[in-house]
A and B are shown apart, each in its own frame.
Chain A
Amino acid sequence: MAWISLEKAKKLEERFGYPKVSEGKGVVSVEVPKDKFIEFLTFLKEDPEYQFKMFIDLTIIDHGEKEDPRFQGVVILFSPKNQERIIVKTWAENETLPTLTNLWKGAKWAEREAWDMFGIKFEGHENLVRMLLWETYPYHPLRKDFPLEGIKDTELPSLNESLRGENLEGLFNYDRMHTALPTMEDLEITQKKRMPAKTSQIVLNWGPLHPGTHGTIWFLFDLDGEYVKQCDIIIGQLHRGVEKLGENVNWQQFIPYTDRMDYIAAINENHAYVLAAEKMLGIEVPEKAKWIRTMMAELSRINSHLLWLGTYALDLGALTMFLYTFREREKIMDIIEGITGARFTINYFRIGGVFADLPYGALDAIEHLIKDLPQRINDYETLLTRNRIWLSRNKDVCVITEEDVYQYGLTGAVARGSGVPYDVRKIDKYDAYGEVEFDIPVGEKGDSYDRYLVRMEEMRQSIRIIQQCIAKLRKMSKNDPYFFQTPDEKKLKVTIDGRGMKLPAGETYASSDNPRGELGFYIYNKKDGLKAHRMRIRSGAFYNLQVFTKAIIGRPIADAITLLSTIDPVVGETDR
Chain B
Amino acid sequence: MGIKKVGAKPQTLVEKIFFLDFIKGLKTTIKHLWKKVITVDFPYEVVTPPIRFRGIHGLRTVDGTENPEFDSWVKRLKIKPPEPGETRCIACKFCQAACPVPELFDIQSEKLDVPEDHPHYGLKVMTVFNMDLSKCTFCGLCTQACPTDCIIMTDIYDLSSYTRKSWVLDKDVLTQIANDFVARRGKEKFDEKSAWREDQKLWPEYDKTRERLWDFNMPRLGPNYQDQTA
Contact = CB atoms under 8 A, between A and B. Distances in A.
Contacts of B139: 255-256, 259, 345, 347
Contact of A445 (B7, B103, B221): B7
A363 interface: yes
Given A438-B2, A476-B225, A379 B28 contact: yes
A330 interface: yes
B132 A171 contact: yes
Interface stretch (B47-55, B83-91, B111-119, B177-185): B47-55
Given A256-B139, A355-B144, A474-B226, A441 B6 contact: yes
A153 interface: no
Interface in A123-168: 161, 163-164, 168
A100 B67 CA distance: 59
B27 interface: yes
A382 B27 contact: yes
Contacts of B225: 473-474, 476-478, 480
Which among A255, A324, A365, A474 has the highest number of chain B CB atoms within 10 Å?
A: A365
Contacts of B6: 441-444, 450, 453-454, 456-457
Nearest to B9: A386
Contacts of A442: 3-6
Contact of A342 (B22, B54, B132, B196): B54
Interface in B2-23: 2-8, 11, 15-16, 20-22
B160 interface: no
B94 A478 contact: no
Interface string A304-322: 0000000000000000100
B168 A386 contact: no
A457 B213 contact: no
B138 A360 contact: no
A334 B210 contact: yes
A342 B138 contact: yes
Contacts of A168: 165
Interface in A426-485: 426, 437-445, 449-450, 453-454, 456-457, 461, 473-480
B29 interface: yes
Interface size band for A: 35 or more
Given A163-B163, A361-B222, A478-B228, A499 B202 contact: no
Interface residues of B, number: 73
Given A335-B202, A339-B202, A341-B52, A171 B104 contact: yes
A395 interface: yes
A497 B98 CA distance: 6
Given A256-B137, A453-B8, A477 B226 contact: yes
B145 interface: yes
Interface string A375-407: 000010011101110010001000000000000
Interface in B32-52: 32, 38, 49-52
B220 interface: yes
A456 B5 CA distance: 12
Contact of B1 (A259, A384, A421, A441): A421
B134 to A, nearest CB: 8
A367 interface: yes
Contacts of A496: 144
B130 A170 contact: yes
Interface string B195-230: 010111111000000100111000111111111101
Nearest to B38: A327
Nearest to B155: A341
A439 B4 contact: yes
Given A172-B168, A253-B100, A360 B224 contact: yes
Interface string B170-197: 0000000000000000000000000010
Q: Ordered nearest first, which 7 A-B pairs have the shortest CB separation?
A: A361-B221, A368-B219, A439-B2, A256-B139, A497-B145, A338-B202, A439-B4
Interface of A: 161, 163-164, 168, 170-172, 249, 252-257, 259-260, 320, 324, 327, 330-331, 334-335, 337-342, 345, 347, 355-365, 367-369, 379, 382-384, 386-388, 391, 395, 421, 426, 437-445, 449-450, 453-454, 456-457, 461, 473-480, 496-499
28 contacts: A163-B163, A172-B134, A253-B98, A256-B137, A330-B213, A331-B214, A334-B203, A334-B214, A339-B52, A345-B139, A359-B201, A360-B199, A360-B202, A362-B224, A368-B219, A383-B28, A387-B22, A388-B22, A395-B8, A439-B4, A441-B3, A442-B4, A449-B8, A475-B226, A477-B226, A478-B198, A478-B225, A478-B227
